[in-house]
């Protein structure tokens, strides 16, 4: 179990956040096409999981735009944006923003992802959604970068995430 802050107030996060050098549990999340997808659907690719509470917040929207721009153009790399947003809202966000280099995945049918990946906010006003985190996986799904952002209102360390891919 981890702890982060929301507007300076500590909040508890449930589950075990992935560690660099380890493997991650498989997942089942819902795509914007309403299909269930897992790691096998991105086999052989490097993965940047941009895990956010909701695309309806400025910081989540910013991180999605930045990863679309920065990591979306990298060879053999897919950017997966994971949020509690409904697939319809996530799809609309990407279409409105012109984002074509990210795959939006929702926890709405599969909330078990949040605890399995150690990002479930367990208390406070955001209880039940994900904390802000970035997990970068190599082609064999081994963790090569992991950041559980200490203050939910802050952006992740983009440079560190991208450096793991070089």
- Catalogue the active-site residues: 60
Pairwise CA distance, residues 48 & 162, whole Å: 9
Q: Hey, what are 99's tokens?
A: 């984002």
Pairwise CA distance, residues 152 & 35, whole Å: 29
| Bridge partners (DSSP) listed for residue 92 | none
Pairwise CA distance, residues 107 & 8, whole Å: 26
């Amino acid at each position: 179990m981890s702890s982060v802050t929301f507007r300076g107030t500590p909040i508890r996060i449930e589950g075990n956040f992935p560690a660099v050098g380890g493997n991650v549990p498989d997942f089942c999340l819902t795509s914007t096409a309403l299909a269930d997808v897992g790691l096998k659907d991105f086999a052989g690719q490097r993965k940047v999981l941009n895990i956010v509470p909701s695309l309806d917040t400025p910081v989540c929207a910013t991180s999605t735009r930045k990863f679309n721009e920065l990591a979306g153009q990298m060879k053999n790399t897919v950017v997966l944006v994971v949020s509690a947003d409904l697939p319809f809202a996530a799809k609309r966000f990407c279409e409105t923003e012109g984002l074509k280099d990210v795959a939006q995945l929702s926890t709405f049918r599969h909330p078990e992802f949040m605890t399995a990946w150690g990002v479930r906010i367990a208390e406070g006003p955001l209880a039940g959604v994900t904390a802000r985190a970035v997990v970068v996986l190599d082609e064999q799904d081994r963790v090569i970068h992991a950041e559980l952002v200490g203050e939910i209102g802050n952006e992740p360390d983009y440079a560190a995430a991208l450096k793991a891919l070089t």
